């Protein structure tokens, strides 16, 4: 017997206590609970993948040091970091520069920078298919920096 619920009642007329035994409720309740929990978690899963990234702006001097040469205006630079350096950046960058985005959100970000759909998708694809991929672009004396972690 897995579980029995005992209820004691008093027969008011006779003053006698009697026990009412319930059926084995434990197993059916557990099966129902497992089915419900399974249905909830299965329904919540999605095929959307999330990416951790760092998005920041750099001074022209910092970008030059990073690339080894001064970046040209309106040019996008693709690169990737070694794991150790990417780990270092991730651990030392303030949380306000860390994001968790979907592929679609990354593409929309690049479109918001004025790129057409093809270029935005190309950059997004580069970032998500290269370990610790980096895209850097220069706008005046400021450089936009985005890295997938």
Same domain, yes or no: 102 and 139: yes
Domain count, the chain: 2
Residues 55 and 19 in one domain: no
Its pTM stands at 0.65
Candidate from 10-14, 49-53, 72-76, 98-102 with smallest mean pLDDT: 10-14
Per-residue exposure over 107-146, b if at least 16 CB sit within 10 Å of its own CB, e if not: bebbbebebeeeebbbbbebbbeeebbbbbbbeeeebbbb
Are 122 and 72 contained in the same domain? yes
Domain that holds residue 129: 50-148
- Separation of alpha carbons 37 and 28, rounded Å: 14
- pLDDT of 106-139, one tens digit each? 999 999 988 999 999 999 999 999 999 999 999 8
Identify whether residues 29 and 61 lie together within a single domain.
no
Evaluate whether 62 touches 68 at the Cβ level (below 8 Å).
no
Query: CA triplet 96, 49, 93: central angle to 5 degrees?
Result: 20
- Count of C-beta atoms within a 10 Å radius of residue 26: 13
Q: Are residues 142 and 81 in the same domain?
A: yes
Assess whether 15 and 71 both reside in one domain. no
Query: Within a domain: residue 119?
Result: yes
Q: What is the pLDDT of residue 68?
A: 87
Q: Are residues 36 and 88 in the same domain?
A: no
Domain assignment present for 1: no
């Amino acid at each position: 017997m897995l579980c029995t619920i005992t209820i004691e009642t008093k027969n008011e007329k006779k003053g006698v206590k009697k026990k009412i035994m319930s059926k084995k409720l434990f197993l059916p309740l557990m099966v129902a609970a497992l089915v419900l929990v399974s249905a909830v978690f299965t329904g919540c899963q999605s095929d959307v993948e999330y990416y951790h990234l760092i998005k920041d702006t750099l001074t022209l001097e910092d970008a030059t040091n990073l690339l080894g040469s001064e970046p040209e205006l309106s040019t996008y630079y693709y690169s990737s970091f070694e794991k150790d350096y990417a780990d270092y950046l991730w651990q030392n960058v303030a949380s306000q520069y860390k994001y968790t985005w979907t592929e679609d959100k990354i593409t929309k970000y690049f479109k918001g920078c004025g790129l057409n759909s093809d270029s935005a998708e190309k950059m997004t694809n580069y970032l998500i298919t290269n370990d610790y991929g980096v895209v850097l672009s220069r706008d005046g004396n400021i450089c936009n920096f985005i890295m997938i972690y």
